[in-house]
Chain A
Amino acid sequence: MNAARKIGVPVAAIIIFLALWEFLVWANGWPNYVMASPSDLPAAYAQFWELFLSGGWSTLWRTVAGLVIAVLAGTLLGMIMGFSRIARDALYPLLIGFNAIPKATLVPVLALLFIGQHDFNTVMMAFMISFFPIAVSVGIGLSTLEPEYRDILRSLGASRFTIFTKIALPKTLPEFFGALKVAVTLAFIGTNLVEIISPHGRGLGALFLSGQTNSNYPLMFAVLIALAFLGILLYYAVVFLERIFAGWAERAES
């Protein structure tokens, strides 16, 4: 019953959303070249399924690679900011300033810096757009650790490293996973920015662009839905990891 509800509720929500979309297009009488409707999509998938598979794979692995780098760099930055007041004061304005820059403007910069390195550029963009929430949440998690938590181990002569691995790190995990859920969706935006603005014929973004060039609106919407699907997929992968590593933070339902 519980498992059926867990899957049934979100699936029902998606079906209702698609039905409303279909109704909206039908009620307004929008033609295909203004707004595609869900019923147009299966044809697009059937026609281009090979491109969807290869493009989806390109987008997915580059997004995941960018995320992995974002997790490593973001955690490291967060640790530095969490443990050192000076580093926190120094890095926050820089990080916020960097995060405020529209990342689309950095696509040509990357493209010029690393000419022809399409995979590298794409991974870098996914990383740059998604590390910020991770760094901030790890930093806050560590800097707000109650002193008593540190004292119970420090009074026994434990090293800073031991205190970090035994207390600070696990205690920060719930915040870390919260940030990772945000980062997942951001990383997809980063990957697609490069795929759409700096086309090199790969990824779902490139497929979107070719749909635009050919005025194939159902194809463009089919790409968007495929991206949404990949986003949901990766999000649940994070939820799965969260259950394993930070399941203790979840309160039992009463």
Chain B
Amino acid sequence: MTNLIDIKGVTHAYQTPLGPLPVLNDLNIAVPEGEFCAVVGPSGCGKSTLTRLIAGLMKPDRGEVWLHGERVTGPRKTVGMAFQNPVLLEWRTILQNVILPLEIVAPSLPKKDREARAMELLALVGLEGFENKRPSELSGGMRQRASLCRAIVHKPDVLIMDEPFGALDAFTREDLWQTMHELRAKEPFTAVLITHDLRESVFLGDQVIVLSGRPATTQYVLDVKFPGERVLDGLYTPESSAMLHTLREQIQIAQGRAEPGQAA
């Protein structure tokens, strides 16, 4: 069986005035179709570089990125992106913002169909009735919901998220985790989520990949066995605690604060 996302031996360095700065070193990630892959790691370890590589916005120095059995050599229309900053266009309404990718990917699709598709997603994330508002009239959480709709409106097979919930308050963030699960139930996509929040990685991910400090390599892969249904209460069970504890240990190792086997 082939994986939808296959990152094989990717090594990358940025050229800086002080010489090359290696950020990724022999990184390997495999995500089967429909799976949700959460990536955690210390600050500045090259997680955002990873998203740009998968999206085809950058080429790695060495190694290969494969999507759907095709080697990534440039941007593809089957990718959706969401960032920590929702980057909604202030001069467009929420509805027109969500439609934006369709204008690029499916320019021949009638306006009526585009709007219907966008409205369907907006309803799914609880933004019905806000479609004609401007982004500045919405709260941070609502804007991020709209941003997620925009990222999947063109039915991408890969959704790449770079800390999309990072700037939200804790309760709004938990709301959006639920929304994420509801979206996944209705819209099939394979997802890569970059995050700093271990609870988020366990609650959303089917696998959690811990990257080492810079230059980042795959340090640890956690196969998430979420106890029961994916509801928030599930995070407060011994099984979840054990997983979170393992991840905590791995992060400390990645930060260079503990040796393998002796982390507290």
Q: Is there contact, CB below 8 Å, between B56 and A155?
A: yes
Cβ-defined contact, A156 with B136, below 8 A: no
Counting CB contacts under 8 A, is B103 at the interface? Answer: yes
Tell me if B50 is interfacial: C-beta within 8 Å of chain A.
no
Q: B189 to chain A: closest CB distance in Å?
A: 14
Q: A71 vs B160: C-alpha distance in the bound complex, in angstroms? A: 40
Among residues of A, the one whose C-beta sits closest to the C-beta of B101 is: A156
The yes or no answer to B194 lying at the interface (CB within 8 A) is no
B156 to chain A, nearest CB (A): 9
Q: If A155-B56, A155-B79, A156-B77 touch, does A148 touch B85 (CB 8 Å cutoff)?
A: yes
Q: Which residues of A contact B74 (CB under 8 A)?
A: 157
Q: B91 at the A/B interface (Cβ < 8 Å)?
A: yes
CA distance A152 to B100 in the complex (A): 9
Residues in A with CB closer than 8 Å to B36 are none
Please report the C-alpha to C-alpha distance between residue A23 and residue B136 in the assembled complex, in whole angstroms.
Answer: 48
Give, as a whole number of angstroms, the nearest-CB distance from B162 to chain A: 9
Stretch with Cβ within 8 A of B (4 or more), from A24-32, A103-111, A123-131, A166-174: A166-174
Indicate if B204 sits at the interface (CB-CB under 8 A): no
Complex CA–CA separation, A76 to B157 (angstroms): 39
Residues of B contacting A155 with CB < 8 Å? 55-57, 75, 79, 81, 160
Interface string of A143-162 (1 = CB under 8 A from B): 00010110111111110001
Interface residue? A251 (CB, 8 A) = yes
Is A249's CB within 8 Å of the partner chain B? yes
When distances are taken between beta carbons in the complex, the residues of chain B under 8 Å from A148 are 83, 85, 87
Tell yes or no: A248 within 8 A of B by CB. Answer: yes
Are A154 and B85 in touch, CB under 8 angstroms? no
Asked whether any CB of chain A lies closer than 8 Å to the CB of B134, the reply is yes
CB-based contact B89/A171 at 8 Å: yes
Query: A246 to B89, alpha carbons, bound, how many Å?
Result: 12
**Residues on the A chain within 8 Å of B101, using CB:** 152-153, 156
Asked if B89 and A170 sit within 8 Å, CB to CB, the answer is yes
Instruction: Please give the distance in Å from B97's CB to the nearest CB on chain A.
Output: 10
Smallest distance from the beta carbon of A204 to chain B beta carbons, Å? 38
Report yes or no: A248 in contact with B134, Cβ–Cβ below 8 A.
yes
Asked if B150 is at the interface of the complex by the 8 Å CB criterion, the answer is: yes
Check B167 for interface membership: any CB of A closer than 8 A: no
Contact with A along B148-183 (1 / 0, CB 8 A): 001000100000100000000000000000000000
Nearest chain B CB to A165 CB, angstrom units: 11
Assess whether B90 is interfacial by the CB under 8 Å rule: yes
Chain B contact residue count (CB 8 A cutoff): 26
- CB neighbours of A157 from chain B (8 A): 74-77, 104
By a CB distance below 8 angstroms, the chain A residues around B77 are: 156-157
Residues of B close to A170: CB separation below 8 A: 89, 91
A-side interface residues, number (CB < 8 Å)? 21
- Residue B263 CB within 8 A of the other chain: no
Beta-carbon contact of B75 and A156 below 8 Å = yes
Q: Which residues of B contact A171 (CB under 8 A)?
A: 89-91
Given A152-B150, A155-B57, A158-B104: A146 and B75 within 8 A (CB)? no
Q: Are A154 and B103 in contact (CB under 8 A)?
A: no
Cβ 8 A contact of A251, one of B57, B87, B136, B154? B136
Take A167-B89, A248-B90 as given contacts and tell me if A151 and B76 are in contact as well, using a CB distance cutoff of 8 Å. Answer: no
Q: Tell whether B231 is near chain A: CB-to-CB under 8 Å.
A: no
Alpha-carbon gap, A162 to B85, bound state (A): 22
- A221-254 interface with B by 8 A CB criterion: 246, 248-249, 251
Flag whether B258 is at the interface (Cβ < 8 A). no
State which residues 39-66 of B face A: CB under 8 Å: 52, 55-57
Enumerate B68-118 residues with CB–CB distance to A below 8 Å.
74-77, 79, 81, 83, 85, 87, 89-91, 100-101, 103-105
Nearest CB of B to A242, in Å = 12
Q: In the assembled complex, how far is the CB of residue A205 from the closest CB belonging to chain B, in whole angstroms?
A: 39
Instruction: Map CB proximity to B onto A187-222 as digits: 1 under 8 Å, 0 otherwise.
Output: 000000000000000000000000000000000000
Residue of A nearest to B82 (CB): A152
**Residues on A with beta carbons closer than 8 Å to the beta carbon of B103:** 166
Contact A156 B104, beta carbon cutoff 8 Å: yes
Chain B residues lying within 8 Å of A158, measured Cβ to Cβ, are 104
Q: Which 7 A-B pairs have the closest CB atoms?
A: A248-B91, A155-B55, A157-B75, A148-B87, A156-B104, A148-B83, A158-B104
Listed by A's residue number, 7 A-B pairs whose Cβ atoms lie within 8 Å are A149-B87, A151-B81, A152-B100, A152-B150, A155-B75, A156-B75, A156-B79
14 more contacts with CB within 8 A, not counting A146-B87, A149-B89, are A148-B87, A151-B55, A151-B57, A151-B81, A151-B83, A152-B81, A153-B100, A156-B75, A156-B77, A156-B79, A156-B101, A157-B75, A157-B76, A249-B90
